Structures are given as C-alpha cells and as structure tokens.
Structure 1
Amino acid sequence: MKQSTFLIVFTTLLSCTTLPKKEKPTFHGCDFNFVLTSIEGENKTYSYVGIREPKIKIHFPNYEHLSQVSENWIRAKKNGKFGFIDTNDKTVFIFQFSFVSDFVDGYAVYRDGEDRRDPKGYIDKKGNLLGDLYFEDAFLFRNGSALVKQAGKFGIIDTKGKFIISPKYDYLSPLYEDWAIFKRDEHQGLVNNKGIEKIFVHDEYEIKNTYYEGAVTFQRYEKTGMMDYNFKVIIPPNYDYLSLFHEGLVRFKLNQKWGFLDQTGKVIIEPIYDSEYDFEEGYAVVEINNQYGIINKQGKYLLELKFSSIQSFSNGMAVVKENGKKGFINTNAEWLVPPIFEDLNSYHDGIISYSLNGKWGIINVRDCLQK
C-alpha cells in the first residue's frame, strides 16, 4: 500500500506586490505578522495561517461562508444551511436555515421555507418568533424599528412586533432620524415614527430612495436632484443618479461617469470614474476599466488604479486584492496583512472572517483591544 507523502513547500513572504509591507506590523500593540504555510500533498495543496502573538486566536476554516460579526454572533453556512457561531467558534444556533440575516437589535430575519416567496419573520437568539408574526417581506431592524410588507403594503414595526407606522403604503423607506419616505396612491412625502405625514405636492418631482441626514433625492424627467427636509431644492435635477450624503459628499452619475458633489451641489471630484463607492473614514474606492484604487476627499490617490478589488476602509483597514489574493492595508497604503487569503470580510468589532482552501474561518483579535 502506497503511503501518502506531504511536503511543506513554502512559507509565504511578501513578494510580487506593488505595495510595501509595514515593518513590524502591529494592531493595538499586538504583533500582526501573519504567516501562511502551504503543505503539498499528492493531489492538493493545503494552506494554513499562523501567528506568534498569543493574544490573537486563529480558528481553522470549517464553513462554506461566514458573515461579519454582529452582536457577538457570526452567521455561518455549513452543509448548505445557515446557523450561528460565537466569536470563539462555538455553535450557538444550529444550522437549519435556508435563509437568515445577521442579528440586529436582538433579532434576525429568517424565511420559513425554501422559496424566496415564503413568509419571513423575526427570531431572537433563543429562537422565539417575534409576536408570532410572519410577513410577505421583512427587513433588518435599525435603531429599534424595521420595515415590513403585509398584504402588498409597507409598514414599520417596533421590537415588540407592533406597528408604529401602519401597513398602508405602496412604498416606504426605513426610518432614519424618525422619518421615512412614503408613497401612497397619488400622495408622496415624509412620515414620522408616530405616523404623521408631511405631504409633498409637485407635478413633476418624484421622491426617491431614503430620507437620510436631512435630505431626500427626487427625480424629474429621468434626472435626479436633492431636497432638504422642507422640500427645498439644494441640488438641481441635473444628474443621472445621486446617492445619499456620506461624510459631507454625495456620489453622482453623469454621462455614464461618476464623481462627487458637496452639500451645496458644487463638484468636488470630477466625474471620471466607471464606478465608485461612498466615502468611509475619509477615503473612497473608485474604478476605471475594472481596475480599482482609493482616493481622498481632494481626489488624490492613496492607491493607484491597479487592483482587482478593494473594500472600503473599516477601523483603519481596507481589504485589497492583488495577484488573486486578499490582505489588509492601512491608511499609509502599506500592507498591514499581506495578500495571503483567498477571501476576506472587512474587519469589524475585533473579528476577521477569512477564507483558505475554499473554507471560511475566523481570527479573533479582541484580546488586543483590552486595556
């Protein structure tokens, strides 16, 4: 009988990359020097990530997918079903769901069945169904309220399952700062968390999207503009698309290209990009011809347009893909963690979700955050 042989073929060092590696990378005082080791068998190569820092706990990749951590639980997929693990990689909710969301405000949306059209409800961490209620559609809680659809109409419930805005709207956005955009029959406008409507009357303007930071977008003849809370136009409808304000700037699309405006409608960054994302922590991801980079609010590049994918900064780290692998950079455009992973989620709340060998695992760095 032929015995299997294994050979450790290499330990990853940073090579063939366009960015420098941070010397002695640290994270809140912890040694952040991850090392990837590959072991080659007869038919497959297996990769393992390691680190010398005792405060950092690396858990073996064992899942088909992992989400970011939310309320100390991580949504995981195993054998085609979703369940939840905690930050120590212990199963806290069995793998039984065809669809389930992350936990927010103590509740997760789940679907009672395999079909997309099956009813949805909210469960707590003990598996109890909120109010014994199911809905045609259900969306994540945010600040104690959630948008739901019932009998073809939209309303908003609280964390007790009671309607705070009756399900009577043809369109309704989630509440933000106690206000939501609504459309009902021929009416449109804003409705607050007590159900009081502020109706907007205009023959040519149609309100769009979501109320956010005191502003709403509207459309006129397929062009988009923005109004304030009192329906006063602050950005004329001259654009193919407007997003919402983030960090004082708003993305706009004009003639198939993207740029940024300030809160007065002044062009801050010219529309030269094929796509772009909102500013996060002072930086935005941009793309031209499927090449991604990062710019600051003056339009200057932190990273040039030469990467295959980038995720927005989160807690000073951004996921960047180069040569088919992903790692983390810092705001000095240095590799904090070299591109050694098959996939990565953005860092959040002391937890990193990563993929190796086609499976997902977690890295817990919370002990580094302890003072």
Structure 2
Amino acid sequence: MKFPIWLSFLSILFLFCSSLPKNPNLSRNGCDLRFQLTTSQTGGETIPQLTFEDKRIKVSKIVYHDLSTISEDWMRAKKNGRFGFIDLEENEVSDFDFYFVGDFHDGYAVFRSGSNFRDPRGFVNKSGDLLGGQYFNMVYNFENGFAVVENKKKYGIMDRSGKIVIPIQYDFISGIHNGWAIFKREEHQGLINAKGQEKKFIHDKYDLRGYFYEGTIVFKHFKKMGIMDSNFNIIIPAIYDYLANFKEGLARFKLGNKWGYLDQKGNIAIDAKFDSEYDFQEGYASVTIGGKDGIIKPNGEYLIEPKFSHVSYFNEGLAVVEDGGKRGFVNTNAEWVVPPIFDQLGPLKDGVFTFAIKEKWGFANLRGCKNK
C-alpha cells in the first residue's frame, strides 16, 4: 500500500521554493522533471519511492546505505559495512568485500587491502585485478593516465600498465598535468615529465607548491604565495597569504581572512570579501559570507546571493542547493528545476544523480531523455 507524501511537483514547489523562482518548463535535457514521492510498507519498514512522470527517467530502489556519484558507469555502494559496485541496472557488478574503495578513474579505483587505515593500498580494475600486482603505503587516483604512489614517505608515478615510470624516490611529486608534475628531492625541485626528464629550479628561498596547471606553478616565498610560469619566471609576485592555480582564467587568493580572485595578469578581478570560496567551474563559483553560501559570476555579480546553508559548484548546468535542511537542483538562471526534498544530493554527472531520503540512497538516470 502506498501513501502519498506530496501529491505533485507543484505542491512541493509551493511548500519549499519560496526563496528562488521555479523553472516554468520543469525540464532538463528534454526530461519532464515532474515527479511524486511516495512510501510503501515492506516487512514493517517504510520505504520511500520516487517516480517521475517522464517514464524515460529511471529511478532505482532507495535502499542503499551509501552511494557515490557515478564514475565510468559504476557507482560505489555500501552493504553490511563493506563496499562494492552497482551498475545502472542495479546489478551488483563486484563483490561487496572492500573495506575502502574509491571511484573509478581511467579504468582503476583506489582500494585498501584491510580494515585498518594503515593497511596497504593499490589499484583495482573492473575485473577485480590488482594493477601491477603491487601494494603501496598510499596511492592516489589516476589522472591523465598516471597516478602518484607512495612508499615509506617517498613518491613516484605509475602508468596504467602498472609500470613505475618515475621511481619512488622523491620527497614530493604531484600528479601530471599538461605533461609535467612538480617534484621535490633533497635540495632539488622543479618539473618532471613521464619520461623522468627534470627541469630543475634551484632556489632555497622559493618553495614550489601544488601542481603544474595551465602553464603555471604556485610558489611560496617567505610565507607569501605567488605564481610562476613553466620556466620559473615570476608572473604574479608573492604577496598573498594563499594563492590557487588558475581555473577558467581566474585564481583564488587570500589576504588576511578574506578571499577574492585574480585575473591572469595579476589584477584583482573580484575583491577579497568572501569568508571562503571555490574555483570557477562552468562559469560560476560558490562563495561563503557570514556562514551562508551563494554563487558568483566571473564579473563578481551574484547569480545567487549568499543566503543558503549549502551551495555546490555547477556540474552539467545544475548546482546542488540546500534550503530548509533539504537539497535540490538549481540551474544557471537561479531557478529550481528539482526542488529541495532530499536529505543528501550528489551532483548531476554523466546524466545521473544520487540522492538520500531518510538515510537511504538511490539514483535517478536521465540519460534516456537525450535521445528525444
């Protein structure tokens, strides 16, 4: 027997969405996003059920204890305290015997061999094979075909064939971006590529930080941070308390207790007035003032003023916004396209999003709408 919680999409909008306007089209990529949330009784347990009017939108059972964002068509789920993976048909495509496992990147997922945080780690593929037959003290996600590995506080890089292409002998090494990684080894630092070729930067008063991205390197000098180019020429002087890599043409900076953004010439593009902020993604950035989140445009104007308890970055044109303790999706017109009814909500990724209602997780698959 089913008991309707809310009878229609519009009734939810009236109840929850007074702070932002509704999207009159109620659609996304051709999907009709009107839905009903109901419950059913199974074995004395109340189970929520989400049903979209558009039958091309497939919704899973809301029964999982944990569910990650989709990654290479699989989602990490949790059952009886262990992790495994399901696919978009809700098939269990791996055994649920991982104490810890990450999402898939470049065909491999990071996993830990035991229940203790100090247990060895490695990479597993979708067939359950251990990459290279090797475990390490720590491993990091594959990115651009390479992954950082660490043993006894020394770092190196492995490729997708399981070969160690950069020996595990560095005091620090970043992931490879734009063909180069930042390294530190004894008194040396600089850039290194996947062939092991080093571009050394010898200077005892400058400390290279982070990773090489879009042709630039963040560095620290006497507790202040600046940016260099790939030849170690300073393009932004070290006058900031914190400085991030450029993303979409802007870099986050911190002066005192406030955050702002610089352009690629080092000019202040957005004044330092935020308590915290994130990189720009899909043309917008999430910011915080006075404990409330909002979203800004590259010119510093607000798309959504900071008055929400949580606002995420945009992904595939939608941002997660929390209002009244519940989460939903907002589009780039600052309109609700899925109202805030979820206790937890993952980003829309590859046409799929995960959500939680009363501590149980499920997912919605919007991919079928793209064929319209």
Q: Under TM normalisation by the shorter chain, which class is it?
A: over 0.9
Counterpart Cα distance in 1 of 2:21 and 2:171 = 53
Contact 1:322–1:339, Cα closer than 8 Å, also in 2: yes
Contact 1:8–1:39, Cα closer than 8 Å, also in 2: no
Verify: 1:190 aligned to 2:191, yes or no.
yes
Contact 1:88–1:364, Cα closer than 8 Å, also in 2: no
Partner residue in 1 for 2:239: 238
Superposed CA deviations along residues 163-182 of structure 1, whole A, max 9, x for unmatched, are 11111100000111120000
Partner residue in 2 for 1:28: 29
2:119 aligns to what SS in structure 1?
coil
Contact 2:3–2:38, Cα closer than 8 Å, also in 1: no
Structure 2, unmatched stretches of 5+, are none
Partner residue in 2 for 1:128: 129
Counterpart Cα distance in 2 of 1:258 and 1:135 = 37
Deviates more, 1:7-16 or 1:183-192: 7-16
Verify: 1:289 aligned to 2:278, yes or no.
no
Verify: 1:13 aligned to 2:3, yes or no.
no
Please state how far the C-alpha of 1:128 moved relative to its aligned partner: 0.9
Residues 3-82 of structure 1 correspond to what in structure 2 (within 5 A)? 8=4, 10-11=6-7, 12-14=11-13, 15-16=15-16, 17-37=18-38, 47-82=48-83
Count residues with an aligned counterpart.
Answer: 366
Counterpart Cα distance in 1 of 2:319 and 2:106 = 26
Counterpart Cα distance in 1 of 2:145 and 2:68 = 22
1:131 aligns to what SS in structure 2?
helix
Contact 1:10–1:38, Cα closer than 8 Å, also in 2: no
CA RMSD of aligned residues (A): 1.8
Superposed CA deviations along residues 293-343 of structure 1, whole A, max 9, x for unmatched, are 001011111101110001100111111000111110111111011111111
Counterpart Cα distance in 1 of 2:89 and 2:235 = 49
Contact 2:2–2:38, Cα closer than 8 Å, also in 1: no
Counterpart Cα distance in 1 of 2:26 and 2:123 = 42
Counterpart Cα distance in 2 of 1:177 and 1:344 = 32
Partner residue in 1 for 2:161: 160
2:94 aligns to what SS in structure 1?
strand
2:95 aligns to what SS in structure 1?
strand
Partner residue in 2 for 1:345: 346
Amino acid at match of 1:13: I
Counterpart Cα distance in 2 of 1:189 and 1:350 = 40
2:260 aligns to what SS in structure 1?
strand
Superposed CA deviations along residues 178-223 of structure 1, whole A, max 9, x for unmatched, are 2000000111111111101111012311111111111111111111
Counterpart Cα distance in 1 of 2:156 and 2:5 = 59
Superposed CA deviations along residues 56-90 of structure 1, whole A, max 9, x for unmatched, are 01112111111111111111112211100001221
Partner residue in 1 for 2:227: 226
Contact 2:4–2:37, Cα closer than 8 Å, also in 1: no
Contact 1:284–1:296, Cα closer than 8 Å, also in 2: yes
Contact 2:5–2:37, Cα closer than 8 Å, also in 1: no
Contact 1:34–1:337, Cα closer than 8 Å, also in 2: no
TM-score (norm 2): 0.94
Please state how far the C-alpha of 1:150 moved relative to its aligned partner: 2.3
Superposed CA deviations along residues 232-266 of structure 1, whole A, max 9, x for unmatched, are 11111010101111100000011110000001110
Deviates more, 1:87-96 or 1:320-329: 87-96
